[in-house]
A and B are shown apart, each in its own frame.
Chain A
Amino acid sequence: MNTFFQLFVSGLATGSIYALAAIGFTLLWQASQTINFAQGEFIMLPAFFVLAGTQFLGLSFPVAMAIAVVLSLLLLGLGFKRIIIDPLLPHGVLPIVIATIALGILMKEGVKQFYTAEALPFPALFSDRTLNVLGAAISVQDIAVLLIALGAVALLQLFLNGTKIGRCMQATAQNPNVAEILGVPVRRMILYTFLINAGLAFLASVLISPIYLAKFSNGETLGLIAFIAAIVGGFNQIRGALAGGLLLGVIDNLSAAYVSASYRSAVPLILLIIIILVRPQGLLGKAEGRTV
């Protein structure tokens, strides 16, 4: 039972990071019908911003983190929207999908070429002590990661539901034409969504890099799992992406321990197939009608 509890908590911690990336998928889809297949690389890159600040510019870790946040918002939020999404949006979803796949490759190979192909250590944000909870040894790092990620999601929900800007963003997501008629600055609301996605990617990056190490290829698995989590949970619901991320984190840990480590990476894909067959809108998603 202790082993199960440890696996469960550890899975929730990893799953909460998947959830941050999955929420990014749903936000961009809701705001601008954008599917960002470079989302994994968006999580990989901010850690290298931090490391570049400490290693090449000699900055202290907190200062490097602050600069990395700004860089993430500028490049992965504003730059991504202005340079890639805005010109391609009128041409539909498919060109955006292809462009973001290309962007992901460019980011990955860019880090490999101009920074390093090797893994680098990333400073741990929390103590490596363990706590005894109901007889099971639970790491402080796991609990902190889980609380921060869930806290970020709670703040996001509060912002979207409790502020005027948040409600304008929701109106933009539901029907941009009507929102515009009602005086909502739609373009600015979409920009805010991209900035929030960049912020979530930064947070996921600094939470996961101390555990996975910073490496150019980190985005490959993270992007795929986050995408599956978003579909499993419901691509059009933030709470769905959260549930999908947590579920995948826990299932990944349990399957590695009780089924087979060799097949653990297949489990999310099996889950994805089942969801598509049984409940295509996702666990907590809403079915969307499409006009022909």
Chain B
Amino acid sequence: MTKRALASIAIAMALSAGLPNISWADTIKIANVIELSGAGATVGSNWRDALKLAFEEINAAGGILGEQVEVTDYDTQTDPTTSRAMVQKAIDDGAYVIMGPIYSGSVKVNMMVAQQNGVPQLTGAEAPFITDMGNPYIFRTSFGAQQSMPKLVKYLTEEMKVKSVAVAWVNDDFGKGGRDSFVAELEKNGIAVNADVSSEVGQADFAADVIKLKSSNADAIFAYLHEEESARLLKEIRKQGVTQPIFGETTLMNQKVVDLAGEAVNGVRGHVGLSANAPIPGIEEFAKKFEAKYSYKPDHNAIKAYMGAYVVKYVTTKNGKADRQAFADALHGLTITPADEPGILMETSWDDKGEVNRESFLVEVKDGKQTVVSTLPKL
């Protein structure tokens, strides 16, 4: 082999080593690393469908910076180890931005892979630790539990006059993070925790859990579980004739829980970061489009994904290039309003840790429909 050939190979290798930060020529590749099977299939399907809808709209309107967006789905199977492998595969495939996953336990192990490779990641996870790990490439699309729980506890103390609570939570990173934030907030406000009942992901039988919650004689029950488990818990609560009021945070009032639990979910109240029934014109329009395309009502995960897609569009267009580092730098401390980008649906800000901030809602489920009771301001 000649010296010239060797030099050519060396130059090619040097160029390919620098690939992560070069601009993309033909298409912009978005990796959707999400729960499409396993316990999280419900939330992942909502996320995937909304993301597809958003990028179809973006591509139909000319794409981003004149480039078409190519979205590839990677199924985490709701398994942290698989999710890590999928993030690595997505990066190997040349992903510009990673969307997802939603389960905090998965994000905990795969966000480091994205960080090491300098790839921005827009997650739907809500566990508090996600944005406390000093990762400059992670961004939330929804509130962390540490932001939403104070709003809910304020409602419980000031409006519902609750003095004691029985807490049901799922024993994973999402549930533990939410439970800890909620209990800490209760303690600050002098509210007693009469029962602290943990359950497992995918648990089918909630008879014993409900008997413990019921016999605690607390003023109210707070449930913080994933959608399917929430539905099973609520069905069991109704089956056992529990009369205490039931409160939750986002997942408990999710449309999927309403679909699965039927009448058992009526009367449940709580705080949601996003709601398809929110009196926000952008969200109302999105919900109509989503339902027309997929024949089912979107949940908050769908709204998160839809907004996330338009965040990618707005920030990349603002930067004038599809550059991973420039994307991460630009999103820290950024506020996007619907006037800037209609697809963002409502004004949203990100802080220097990637934490999201926007208005949120207190809702009650009435006749199988999430009804917004009041809108809470940005923090």
Interface residues of A (CB under 8 A from B): 2-3, 6-7, 10-11, 14, 112, 116-121, 128-130, 137, 139, 141-142, 210-213, 215, 217-218, 221, 252-254, 256-257, 261-262, 264-265
Contact = CB atoms under 8 A, between A and B. Distances in A.
Q: Nearest 4 A-B pairs (CB), nearest first? A: A256-B208, A130-B241, A117-B41, A10-B207
B228 A10 contact: no
B208 A121 contact: no
A261 B228 contact: no
Contacts of B260: 119-121, 213
B interface majority secondary structure: helix
Nearest to B236: A211
B169 to A, nearest CB: 11
Nearest to B198: A261
A207 to B, nearest CB: 13
A141 B198 contact: no
Contact of A119 (B200, B208, B228, B240): B228
Interface stretch (B106-114, B175-183, B209-217): B209-217
A252 B200 contact: no
B38 A117 contact: yes
A208 to B, nearest CB: 8
Best-buried of B171, B198, B260 by chain A (most CB within 10 Å): B260
Given A10-B207, A119-B228, A130-B240, 15 more contacts: A3-B215, A112-B37, A117-B37, A118-B41, A120-B260, A137-B240, A139-B239, A139-B241, A141-B239, A211-B239, A213-B260, A217-B38, A253-B208, A261-B197, A261-B200
A273 B199 CA distance: 25
A10 B231 contact: no
Contacts of B256: 118
B197 A3 contact: no
A10 B37 CA distance: 30
A118 B239 CA distance: 23
Contact of B199 (A211, A217, A257, A261): A261
Given A128-B239, A257-B211, A121 B232 contact: no
A5 to B, nearest CB: 10
Nearest to A3: B215
Nearest to B259: A121
A218 B202 CA distance: 9
24 contacts: A3-B211, A7-B207, A10-B207, A10-B208, A14-B205, A116-B41, A118-B45, A119-B42, A120-B260, A121-B231, A128-B238, A129-B241, A139-B239, A139-B241, A210-B235, A211-B236, A212-B204, A213-B231, A215-B228, A254-B208, A256-B209, A261-B198, A261-B200, A262-B200
Interface in B227-262: 228, 231-232, 235-236, 238-241, 256, 259-262
Nearest to B39: A217
A65 B236 CA distance: 24
A133 to B, nearest CB: 12
A119 to B, nearest CB: 5
A6 B204 contact: no
A217 B202 contact: yes
Best-buried of A10, A139, A265 by chain B (most CB within 10 Å): A10
Contacts of B41: 116-118
Nearest to A258: B208
B200 A117 contact: no
Contacts of A264: 208
Best-buried of B211, B231, B232 by chain A (most CB within 10 Å): B211
A223 to B, nearest CB: 13
B36 interface: yes
Contact of B171 (A10, A129, A211, A262): A262
Best-buried of A14, A213, A218 by chain B (most CB within 10 Å): A213
Contacts of A120: 260
A252 B238 CA distance: 21
Nearest to B78: A117
Contacts of B235: 128, 210-211
B146 to A, nearest CB: 24
Contacts of A3: 211, 215
Contacts of B208: 7, 10, 252-254, 256-257, 261, 264
Contacts of A141: 239
Contacts of B171: 261-262
Contact of B240 (A6, A118, A217, A254): A6
A137 B241 contact: yes
Given A118-B42, A119-B260, A10 B232 contact: no
B232 A212 contact: yes
Nearest to A9: B207
Contacts of A7: 207-208, 211
Contact of B204 (A129, A218, A257, A262): A218
B240 A261 contact: no
A277 B82 CA distance: 38
A222 B215 CA distance: 28
A142 B235 CA distance: 13
A202 B22 CA distance: 58
B207 A14 contact: yes
Contacts of B259: 121
Contacts of B261: 121
Interface string B187-209: 00000000001111010110111
Interface string B270-304: 00000000000000000000000000000000000
Interface string B19-46: 0000000000000000011100110010
A211 B234 CA distance: 10
Nearest to B37: A117
B207 A213 contact: no
Nearest to A121: B260
A83 B324 CA distance: 55
A257 B260 CA distance: 25
A128 B236 CA distance: 9
